[in-house]
Structure 1
Amino acid sequence: MRGGKRVVITYGTYDLLHHGHIRLMERAKELGDYLIVGVTSDAFDKSRGKLNVEQPFSERLRAVQDAGIADLVIAEEFQGQKIADIKKYGVDVFAIGSDWEGRFDHLGRYCDVVYLPRTQGVSSTELRAERSASMELCCIGSGYLMERFTGESRHVAGVEVTCGFSPTGDNSAFEAAGVPVAKTLSDALERCTAVYICEPIDERAGLIRCALEAGKHVLCEAPMFLSLDEGRDLFALADERGLVLMEALKTAYFPAFERLQLLLENGIVGEVKDVDASFSHVFDGLNRADRYEGSFYDMGATVCLPAMAFLGTVYQDARFTCAFDDDFCTWAKLDLAYGTASATLRVGRGMKTEGDMVVTGTDGYVYVPAPWWKTEYFEVRHEDLRDTKKYYFDYAGEGLRYELFEFAHLAATEPAERIPARGEGEVLAVAALVAQFDQGRVRRLEKGAWAFNGGETVVDR
């Protein structure tokens, strides 16, 4: 009770507020005397994988307030907040739509739980579908990533996987997901408006070119190129055709990584002076006969991400120290010098090390525990450890849906208005490092001799 009044609380996203939302709030209000409505924040929606919300939190909050039904409108910002709100506001009744039947029975320990019938024939999902064009996506490739990607795509509104194509003929991932199979690349490109590419590294650039020349947007696993010139040419082709060419690097779009980057840009540890990160795997079935499955080819783009995001793309010197098993690189350590900052980045396939990350600043440091590339948690530490702040962020599923959402959003935006989360310069800076590694300009530990000719500076456009 609140001042002798029976208090009712309900929650929702309230995207594109419609009469179904209005009717549900009215029904909730009828259960008591005082109605509180919780509106999910943008960050909370993203953390739970709800990526199809069109309106920002401020607009959704104002729409609920302007409806004039709620006595109090609050933000829902984290998992578990409902119990805290029930206690804080002395709630007597928790009300929610009947499509959540049974999901909130546990709240019965604190108040009455009522599931309200929803208004048939209208939903935010249907309204969004009417307002936005659908992306018809063809997946090109095979293997475990393809299987995960087709599954994750179902959670991104406006994206439909229309077909799959495997140049090797391995269609098992598509068959398991019930995705139609195209017999040829040309057939596949005729069935889609965009492609996702997950083929061996040395085949990616050719497939990207074919897709762009066919007028398709492209999302491709990282790294996309083996040479800087190749990358520049393909970005120029995409720009010329008004198409999106985006590197699939899911860590860059995780809620925790995005928030960490914003905190660092706002000086939470002062000026960033060093980034130290490692990424390694030991597993059965490693194909050491394929050099392109080696450490830096396969994992270099990921481990370079924090250096490029936190320190920039203009490095003065780049030095590799690598261990090889014949032509297969099992371990690579990359030292980047930025003039006023540095980065040490390690990758291993067939070797294992601690997969954490430390970002050093002039006023503190950030510690991200292993595996940092899948982080949901990090700490900001200062000289006085009592000032340590801990940050928690969930991500949904495999995390692939976040990069796919960004890709679909860019494709639906007019070329002149596109603002990608990762710029072309960042992708090309990594391409320059991949090219340096591919050309053998590294120190091979087993030989003990330098074969390094100097780093290459790449300027972000």
Structure 2
Amino acid sequence: MKKVITYGTYDLFHQGHYNLLKRAKELGDYLIVGVTTDNFDLERGKMNTCNNMMERIEAVKATGLADQIVIEEYRGQKIEDIQKYGVDIFAIGSDWEGYFDYLSEFCQVVYLPRTQGISSTQLRKERTVVNIGMIGTGSIASRFVPESKNVNRAVISAVYNPNIDENILFCHKFQIPVMAHNLEELYANCDAVYIASPHYTHYEYTKSALIAGKHVLCETPFVFSRTQAEELYTIAEKRGLHLQVALKTAYCPAFGHLFSLLKSGVIGEIVEVNASVTTLTDENSEKLNSKFLGGSISENACFPLLPIFKFLGTDFRDIHFYSKMKNDVDMFTKAVFRYEHAVASFQVGLGVKTEGSMTIAGTKGYVYVPAPWWKTDYFEVRYEDQNKNKKYFYPYVDEGLRYEIKDFIAAILTEGYYFNKVSKEENLMMAQVQEMYINNQNVYKL
């Protein structure tokens, strides 16, 4: 029996895919089709896939051409699969001509003609785009625009900043079609709003955008009150809108894999989470100005709160804060959580620098994530027996914002039928912790 193997993403399955599979099938007696995982696609820079892995597998299965479907998870797997399954022919589209010649050492390599005039890339371009209006033109907004260009169907259509001069410069620099002079003009030119304005404006801008019927992606910190957060979620839910907080760590590949690993019990029961996020900041910065709700808690706390709530939940017994103050602003704060069967702590700072790593302790082992853990592409699982230690590497491309933008667009286009990587309850509790600190609840100032 002659075995043939081929690989692909098979996003938005179309006639070209079918034709290629049919041609591959005709080369032998048994066809094995490799379908890439979502994370492997991300690693290869494919940010624009519209169908998830299971949908793509079902599309291949529905053709009736595949005798066997395998999952392609990593680079180098093709050689292993060829040897494992006793493959005689490796077949791939002619657009890869010459690229896979190295496989000829293991089997025959055949490049199949592609169907002209159709491709997944073309189909994605023809699908509905989401026009995003931006509020704010600061440093994070300047990174957001180029990152959005890597996400298909995301188009920055308009920008608003009450500072007209800054708005003009930003729109000119990034060639934004509409420089909105007010919110009404912004909303008239977009389907969704990205809020990258100063922290203390997030609540009003988010509420305004939701009432205007726009999906919202809001930068961290979301808001500083649980009541405000609940109100915004209620508005979004009543209007069928997607509300997402732009906590980029949650959307990055390494963190997603770490979450899955820990939930599988690789380090046993989790008994402690500790994480640090500190930066040295100009003392004249708004980040250290009490009038603008500045401080290390408001600026950085959302990042370590993410793994604490993800791995231990939001039902903690109590929390205590210890802050080094300067000009009525916390330049460094350590927070300690007590859970029923675990503890957690974090350190955040704007005028103090410490190791920005994260450790997660368990009854069987522990996880170490090196600095800066919040945008890592690498972590280690360590055990008492060091021979069992394992290192994990995952991609983190450029600024990492493209991952959250991709999820934001997907959630809108699937009308909310999309897993939100930061839950509503987690966002509500982050707002509540911020509120507790602002209200000096269990805050000890040094």
TM-score, normalising length: structure 2: 0.86
**Which segment drifts farther, 286-295 or 329-338?**
286-295
Alignment match, 2:174: 177
1:320 paired to 2:321? yes
Most deviating of 364-373 and 19-28: 19-28
Distance 1:286 1:374 in 2: 27
Does 2:428 align with 1:428? yes
Distance 1:413 1:327, change over 3 A: same
Residue in 1 that maps onto 2:49? 53
Structure 1: stretches of 5+ with no match in the other structure: 446-461
Aligned to 1:242: 240
Shift of the 65–203 alpha-carbon distance from structure 1 to 2, 3 Å rule, reads closer
In structure 2, the residue corresponding to 1:160 is in which secondary structure? strand
Instruction: Summarize deviations over 1:61-104 as a string: whole Å, max 9, x none.
Output: 35435546567643221123345556667878765445556766
**How large is the RMSD of aligned CA atoms in angstroms?**
3.1
8 A contact 1:144–1:173 mirrored in 2: no
In the TM superposition, 1:71-220 aligns within 5 A as: 73-85=69-81, 96-100=92-96, 117-128=113-124, 133-169=128-164, 170-171=166-167, 172-180=169-177, 181-220=179-218
Equivalent-residue separation in structure 2 for 1:238 and 1:410 (angstroms): 13
Query: Closer, same or farther in 2 for the Cα pair 1:17/1:239, shift >3 Å?
Result: closer
List per-residue Cα deviations over 1:369-394 (Å, max 9, x = no partner).
22211122222223322232333322
Report SS of the residue matched to 1:45.
helix
For the Cα contact (< 8 Å) 1:94–1:111, is it kept in 2? yes
State the 1:356 CA deviation. Answer: 1.2
Q: Deviations over 1:290-318 (max 9, x none)?
A: 34443221111111111111111122211
Displacement after TM superposition at 1:50 (Å):
2.8
Task: Determine if contact 1:336/1:343 at 8 Å carries over to the other structure.
Answer: yes
Structure 2 CA distance for partners of 1:239 and 1:342, relative to 1, 3 Å: same
User: Do 1:147 and 1:174's aligned partners in 2 also have CA atoms closer than 8 Å?
Assistant: no
Show the counterpart of 1:406: 407
Please state whether the residue corresponding to 1:137 is helix, strand or coil: strand
Structure 2 SS opposite 1:270: coil
SS at match of 2:221: coil
Q: 2:289 matched to which residue of 1?
A: 290
Give, in angstroms, the shift of residue 432 of structure 1.
1.4
Letter matched to residue 353 of structure 1: T
CA distance in 2, matches of 1:329, 1:106: 58
1:147–1:98 Cα change, 3 Å: farther
Alignment correspondent of 2:303: 302
CA shift, 1:403, in A, is 1.5
Q: Which amino acid aligns with 1:163?
A: A
Out of 259, 262, 265, the position equivalent to 2:257 is 259
**Superposed CA offset, 1:349-368 (max 9, x none):** 23211111111122222222
Whether 2:42 is the aligned partner of 1:43: answer: no
Task: Provide the C-alpha distance between the structure 1 equivalents of 2:400 and 2:197, rounded to a whole number of angstroms.
Answer: 20
Percent identity between matched residues is: 46
Q: Write the deviation string for residues 410-443 of structure 1: whole angstroms up to 9, x where unpaired.
A: 323446x565332222111111111222334422
Q: Which residue of 2 aligns with 1:373?
A: 374
> Comparing 283-292 with 312-321, which one deviates more in the overlay?
283-292
Counterpart-to-counterpart distance in 2, 1:275 and 1:305: 11
Change in CA separation of 1:109 and 1:299 when aligned onto 2, cut-off 3 Å: farther
1:448 aligned residue: none
Question: Given that residues 48 and 396 in structure 1 are in contact (C-alpha distance below 8 angstroms), is that contact kept between their aligned partners in structure 2?
Answer: no
Structure 2 residue 385 is matched with structure 1 residue 387: no
| Contact kept? 1:141, 1:198, Cα under 8 Å | yes
Q: Secondary structure at the match of 1:429?
A: helix
The CA deviation at 1:36 is 5.2
Residue 215 of structure 1: how far off its partner (Å) = 0.9
Does residue 12 of the first structure (1) align with residue 8 of the second (2)? yes
Structure 2 gap ranges (5+): none
CA distance in 2, matches of 1:148, 1:206: 23
Note closer, same or farther for the CA distance 1:69–1:420 as it changes in structure 2 (3 Å cut): closer
Aligned to 1:228: 226
Kept in 2, the 8 Å contact 1:15–1:53? The answer is yes
Whole-Å Cα distance in 2 between the matches of residues 192 and 168 of structure 1? 20
Normalised to the residue count of structure 1, the TM-score between the two structures is 0.84
**Residue 453 (structure 1) aligns with:** none
- Corresponding letter in the other structure for 1:203: T
Residue 60 of structure 1: how far off its partner (Å): 2.9
Distance in 2, matches of 1:238 and 1:52, equals 26
Residue 307 of structure 1 aligns to a residue in which SS?
helix
Q: How many residues align?
A: 439
Q: CA deviation at 1:270?
A: 2.1
Asked if 2 retains the 8 angstrom alpha-carbon contact of 1:231 and 1:431, the reply is yes
Shift of residue 58 of structure 1? 4.0
The Cα shift of 1:40 comes to 0.9
* SS of structure 2 residue aligned to 1:433: helix
CA distance in 1, matches of 2:101, 2:300: 44
Cα distance change, pair 106–418 in 1 and its aligned pair in 2 (3 A): closer
Q: Secondary structure at the match of 2:180?
A: coil
Alpha-carbon contact 2:50-2:410 (below 8 Å) kept = no
Q: 1:124 to 1:112 in 2, by over 3 A?
A: same
